[in-house]
Amino acid sequence: MKAPPPQSALIKAMMRSFRWTMWLDRRQAWLAVSIAFAAAVCADWLTGPSVSLTIGYLFVDCLAAWTLRERVGVAIVLGSVAIGSWINGFGYIPAVDQTGLTAAIAIWNTATRAASAIMIVLMVATLRHTIDSERWRASTDYLTRSLNGGAFRSQIERVARSRRRQGAALLLLYMDLDGFKAVNDRHGHAAGDAVLRRFADEARARMRADDLFARLGGDEFCALLAIEPDALPEQVAESLHARLSEALRATGHAVTCSMGAVVVDAAAAYDTERLLKLADEAMLEVKRSGKNAIRIAFDIRSDHRRAA
């Protein structure tokens, strides 16, 4: 398979211009589409039938398909055609003599405009779906359906940024499964895979939408949790460790979890590798002292830390 051609300057400019649309949540997308649609309708009303606003409506159609997917995009197309026909006249085409315009021609013109816009909307929605699928595959561990290590590292800053304004603390966890290799050796890799999936499923079930959970490789996992102001990081970590230990016992295999944790201010969560190293070192201390436990370190100066 040949490598794709290099991106042109125009494509790079377009990607930079519309990159912000990739991060809109559904409410923000609806707001953006509504504002753009209202602007297109107002411009069409003010300019009248002599000036074509097709490009404006088409932009709104594509924005809807890109951010809200094909159903909303098609609905916006139909709404655009209906409003445009109401403002400019049914079947009207700017710069074309409308004398003798029959109902059949008007219907054909309107249907053609709608069909053309719908085709473009479907292509835009297909492109967005393809991009999202590729991004998901590139950031996800295929076995556990968790983030992979690269995606985890890249998203730590995003989570920290969203929590900085609240002065929140973050809990970074590094987990390793004790006795996992014996499961593979005695029962085969299928049994080991089932243990990993059960562990990951239980961990994700205990996470909130903004928390991160990843498989770094083998039987090593990481998580990043936001700590609410009225919660103690120690209790959060201990509760999660207890839940994960229950899930491992339910597999029927002698597998436990050694967990290292680091509590850090969201404002200081920019040195990802240093924090991961601290959590890893805490986990290794658990391994050396008997396994199946949790050790918590603090890289924080806040009320979240208990007095010694």
Identify whether the C-beta of residue 292 lies closer than 8 Å to the C-beta of residue 178.
yes
Q: Of residues 141, 219, 265, 299, which has the active-site annotation?
A: 219
Note if 219 is an active site residue.
yes
The 3-state secondary structure of 62-97 reads HHHHHHHHHHHHHHHHHHHHHHHHHHHCCCCCCCCC
DSSP string, 88-124: H-TT--TTS--TT--HHHHHHHHHHHHHHHHHHHHHH
CA distances 127 to 18, 165, 293, Å, are: 14, 35, 47
**The pair of three-digit structure tokens given for residue 130, joined into one six-digit string:** 């393809």
* Cα–Cα dist 198/230, whole Å: 30
* Cα–Cα dist 187/147, whole Å: 26
Which of 204, 202, 198, 190 lies closest to 146 in space, CA to CA?
Answer: 204
| Helix, strand counts (H, E) of the chain | 9, 6
The 3-state secondary structure of 194-251 reads HHHHHHHHHHHHCCCCCCEEEEEECCEEEEEEEECCCCCHHHHHHHHHHHHHHHHHHC
* Cα–Cα dist 255/245, whole Å: 8
* Active site residues per annotation: 219
